[in-house]
Chain A
Amino acid sequence: MSRADQHTRQQIADLVEACAGYWELRGVALESSAQMQLELEQHLQQAVSDGKSLEAVLGPNPAAFAEAWAREMRPRVFRGGAKVLRGLVYALSVVSSSALLSQLLARSPAFTFTLFGAYLLIGSGLLALLLQLGGFLAPRINKRAGREALVLAGVVLAVLVLRLAGLQVNWSTPLLSWGWPVTIVLLALAAFLFSLTCWRSSHREPLLTVSESWSALRTVTTFVASVGVFDIVMFFSSVAVVDFCRLALRLV
């Protein structure tokens, strides 16, 4: 069997990842999804090495293929909620740690969660999901950069359409405000829920080797680091947005 080149392998990996993300959202059991991914990857690799196109395997619409297979796997809505729950745990971690940092740095007794913060969190989650599902475009757009650019262009276009339709938003609008006790409770809740998701995944796939334990540790470190980076981005961008809104109000 001749080896598919790096480029095609990336296309296959992105397609399989998009299918996996879709199946998870649809509520296909993770064990079944893992086997489906293996079968699909193996089939695509063999088909490509035999000179066939990805379209010959998945048809003109890979999302329809993923849906047709998901329907036969007895999906459950609550399983699809697990992915959403992970997103919520991440959002809670970002909000609680952001509140802690801002209260510590500003020595303020209260933290205000603005509309911009909510927009940033929800927008980032949706964008991450769209980028993953963008793998469905792999048979038509060969390069990952091209697919990502198309998804981003779609998002920008949607925002522009909303703006042109007359949607005006004051980003510095406070949504919620709370003090130290709530921040501590939220932090504890985020830590508890994150530990619960880690425990669930280790319960499903027990950590047997040293490398698996390192991998789990890396997952925790990556999560904490990404929450930290998100906090920094949210802090600086919200300061910029609030300043911009103030300036705009003065000009008006």
Chain B
Amino acid sequence: MLVETRSTQLLKGTLDMCLLATIAQWPCYGYEMVQQLAQQGLDLVSEGSIYPLLSRLQHLGYIDGYLVASRDGPKRKYYHLLPAGAKQLEQWQAEWEVFARAVERILKGARSDEQS
């Protein structure tokens, strides 16, 4: 049975931002995104969970997709960032930095309390 770890829960809340940031680097297809996330140490419990999010980002006008023929099998759908997506990513990054700093401060405070 699959058990949700804390990191899985954290990733769930930030997966759309991570996907947008991955696509911002260069256009890529779904499996490629999963591989890039895994290389950064973010393993998804179910890889397919990126697709509903990609569709949502596409409907919001942040990304767009196009099909490219593949030698290895069916066509691949590549996603690329749109200007609205770049703007949204900047905003999310700013929000994340504020949030991460706040969490870090709290954790540091807890650690210093333990030491004293």
The interface of chain A, by Cβ under 8 A from chain B, is 1, 35-36, 38-43, 45-47, 52, 55-60, 65, 68-69, 71-74
B49 touches A42 (CB 8 A): no
A59 touches B46 (CB 8 A): yes
Partner of A42, one of B29, B46, B59: B29
> A152 to B26, alpha carbons, bound, how many Å?
48
Given A46-B31, A58-B46, A60-B2: A69 and B51 interface contact (C-beta under 8 Å): yes
In the assembled complex, the CB of B91 is this many whole angstroms from the nearest CB of chain A, namely 21
> A23 to B19, alpha carbons, bound, how many Å?
24
Identity of the chain A residue whose Cβ is nearest the Cβ of B50 in the assembled complex? A43
B30 touches A43 (CB 8 A): yes
User: Could you give 18 example pairs across A and B, Cβ below 8 Å?
Assistant: A38-B67, A38-B75, A38-B77, A41-B74, A42-B70, A42-B74, A43-B31, A43-B48, A47-B31, A56-B47, A59-B45, A59-B49, A60-B2, A65-B46, A65-B48, A69-B51, A71-B52, A72-B53
Interface status of B73 (Cβ within 8 A of chain A)? yes
Cβ contacts B37-79/A at 8 Å (1 or 0 each): 0000000011111011101100100000101001011111100
Given A36-B51, A69-B51, A72-B55: A57 and B76 interface contact (C-beta under 8 Å): no
Partner of A45, one of B46, B48, B74: B74
20 more CB-based (< 8 A) A-B contacts, given A45-B72, A45-B73, A71-B52 = A36-B51, A38-B77, A39-B29, A39-B30, A39-B77, A42-B30, A42-B70, A42-B74, A42-B76, A46-B73, A55-B2, A56-B46, A57-B46, A59-B2, A59-B45, A59-B49, A60-B46, A65-B48, A69-B52, A72-B55
In the assembled complex, the CB of B28 is this many whole angstroms from the nearest CB of chain A, namely 12
> A40 to B51, alpha carbons, bound, how many Å?
9
When distances are taken between beta carbons in the complex, the residues of chain B under 8 Å from A71 are 52
Chain B, interface size: which category?
A: 20 to 34
Given A59-B45, A69-B52: A74 and B59 interface contact (C-beta under 8 Å): yes
> A55 to B55, alpha carbons, bound, how many Å?
21
A40 touches B48 (CB 8 A): yes
In the assembled complex, the CB of A115 is this many whole angstroms from the nearest CB of chain B, namely 43
In the assembled complex, the CB of B74 is this many whole angstroms from the nearest CB of chain A, namely 5
Most interface-central of A35, A41, A57, A65 (chain B CB within 10 A): A57
When distances are taken between beta carbons in the complex, the residues of chain A under 8 Å from B55 are 69, 72-73
> A52 to B31, alpha carbons, bound, how many Å?
12
Identity of the chain A residue whose Cβ is nearest the Cβ of B70 in the assembled complex? A42
Most interface-central of A41, A43, A72 (chain B CB within 10 A): A43
A42 touches B45 (CB 8 A): no
> A28 to B107, alpha carbons, bound, how many Å?
45
> A38 to B56, alpha carbons, bound, how many Å?
18
Identity of the chain B residue whose Cβ is nearest the Cβ of A65 in the assembled complex? B48
Identity of the chain B residue whose Cβ is nearest the Cβ of A35 in the assembled complex? B77
B31 touches A72 (CB 8 A): no
In the assembled complex, the CB of B100 is this many whole angstroms from the nearest CB of chain A, namely 27
When distances are taken between beta carbons in the complex, the residues of chain A under 8 Å from B56 are 72
When distances are taken between beta carbons in the complex, the residues of chain B under 8 Å from A43 are 30-31, 34, 47-48
A42 touches B75 (CB 8 A): yes
In the assembled complex, the CB of B80 is this many whole angstroms from the nearest CB of chain A, namely 15
